[in-house]
Amino acid sequence: MILGNGDFKYERLDGWLKMPENFTFGNASSGIPAGPAGVAVDSKDRVFIFCRGNHPVLIFDKCGDFISCWGEGQFPGAHGIYIGTDDAVYLTDYQMHTVTKHKANGELVWILGKKYVGIPPVVGKPFCMPTRLVVGPTGDMFASDGYANFFVHKFSSDGKLIKTWGGPGHEPGRLQWPHSLDIDQYGTIYVCDRENDRIQLFDSDGGLLQVWSDFMNPQGIYADRKKDILYIIESQVQAVARPQDRSRVSIRDLQGKIISMWEGRESEGKGVLETCHDICVDSRGDIYIAELNDYPRVLKFARIR
């Protein structure tokens, strides 16, 4: 099956991931969406999967062969993962209220926040159930915070808090469950304002630039800084989906124009997606999507050239 259109067409590679024997992504029996929460690739196109399971960080090569794992017993609330240009791994755990920086082998470099000590909700200080941190082109860091705080925080490269903006609400500039974010090469920050069904664009000081409203539960975004392309996923992952729920991948330019897309739930016989939660792209343009809940898996879509 060929997916997408124009210069951005893809083929889903079924069975690409070769999980080690007795390894699983977990299950949803606890009532909390389980499985691979985040996915990222490093400079060698190694695929890092941040998982709510017995092995939180799983590493595979681009062919799906297992390389290694780490983080056992350390991340009860795996959520966002980001890999910097130096291959440092940044992990956001919403249950511990922390962001940690690691070397590729798992060695801890630093921690932001205090483990299991969350700031009271909507106070506006980091953190209360954060969802993702990314590093901008100048070295500043930006975190979506997240499930209970509804703010974006800007940090210096050494972890000092510079600025906070957002706050709960539906007006432009306000946020309702900022679920993920990314930043392009020009310093524009794209925030998945999930429960407001929109993506909001801010400058690096928190100034509102634009509001894109043609979304339904935007879950994750990946900004290709070299090619000025955005990859966005939408999906409702809660137990009871809204009637207008959809699962969709859209590839857009920096003005928000769709240049390729596909949508539909595989379980309904309408597509190849399910409960999309995170997305990333490797150096060849292949797409990886982490899915949670009843269909815990990482999908790979190979770009057709």
CATH number of the domain that residue 227 is part of: 2.120.10.30
Q: What is the pLDDT of residue 232?
A: 98
Residues in the chain: 305
What are the tens digits of pLDDT across the range 199-237? Answer: 999 999 999 999 999 999 999 999 999 999 999 999 987
Q: What is the pLDDT of residue 24?
A: 85
Higher confidence at residue 33 or residue 15? 15
What are the tens digits of pLDDT across the range 22-56? Answer: 898 875 555 566 789 999 999 999 999 999 988 99
- Across the chain, mean pLDDT equals 94
Task: Please compute the mean of the pLDDT values over residues 109-115 and round it to a whole number.
Answer: 97
Task: Please compute the mean of the pLDDT values over residues 271-296 and round it to a whole number.
Answer: 94
Taking a C-beta distance cutoff of 8 angstroms, is the pair 220, 211 a contact? no
What is the C-alpha to C-alpha distance for residues 285 and 268, in angstroms, rounded to an integer? 28
Structure tokens at 196: 């407001």
Q: What is the pLDDT of residue 31?
A: 56
Q: Identify the CA nearest to 59 among candidates 92, 100, 87, 30.
A: 87
Structure tokens at 255: 């003005």
Q: What is the pLDDT of residue 303?
A: 98
Q: Would you say residue 179 has pLDDT above 80?
A: yes
Q: What is the pLDDT of residue 293?
A: 82
What is the C-alpha to C-alpha distance for residues 272 and 290, in angstroms, rounded to an integer? 13
Q: What is the pLDDT of residue 236?
A: 83
Give the global pTM: 0.96
What are the tens digits of pLDDT across the range 128-163? Answer: 999 999 999 999 999 999 999 999 999 999 999 999
Q: What is the pLDDT of residue 261?
A: 98
Give the domain extent around 44: 2-304
Q: Identify the CA nearest to 13 among candidates 292, 282, 294.
A: 282
What is the C-alpha to C-alpha distance for residues 235 and 139, in angstroms, rounded to an integer? 31
Q: What is the pLDDT of residue 220?
A: 98
Strand pairing class (287-291; 89-93) = unpaired
Q: What is the pLDDT of residue 126?
A: 97
Residue 122 banded pLDDT, cuts 50, 70, 90: confident
Q: What is the pLDDT of residue 135?
A: 98
Chain position carrying tokens 């906070």: 164
Q: What is the pLDDT of residue 28?
A: 52
Task: Please compute the mean of the pLDDT values over residues 104-110 and round it to a whole number.
Answer: 98
What are the tens digits of pLDDT across the range 233-277? Answer: 999 876 455 666 789 999 999 999 999 999 999 988 999 999 999
Domains held by the chain: number: 1
Q: Is residue 245 classed exposed, middle or buried when 0-12, 13-18 and 19+ CB atoms within 10 A define those classes?
A: middle
Q: What is the pLDDT of residue 171?
A: 98
